[in-house]
Amino acid sequence: MEYYKSWCIYDPVYSTTCDMAYICLPSLIGVKDNKIRWFDAEEAFEIMNCLQSDEDEA
């Protein structure tokens, strides 16, 4: 599980096939304190860059 600024980050998937939902620009879903948030493309790029740099440091 990935975390970004206390948000638990999820990738959207199709419920029928569990395949990644590629919908043009990247999209991510965050869950924090019983709240759900769909991050827009700009935020998704920022989150992906942050998560990637965390993996590079490990």
Q: What is the pLDDT of residue 42?
A: 92
pLDDT digits (tens, 9 = 90+) for 3-57: 999 999 998 876 777 666 566 788 899 999 999 999 998 999 999 999 888 767 6
Q: What is the pLDDT of residue 9?
A: 95
Q: What are the C-alpha distances in Å from 45 to residues 3, 14, 17, 18, 33?
A: 14, 21, 25, 22, 23
Q: What is the pLDDT of residue 20?
A: 63
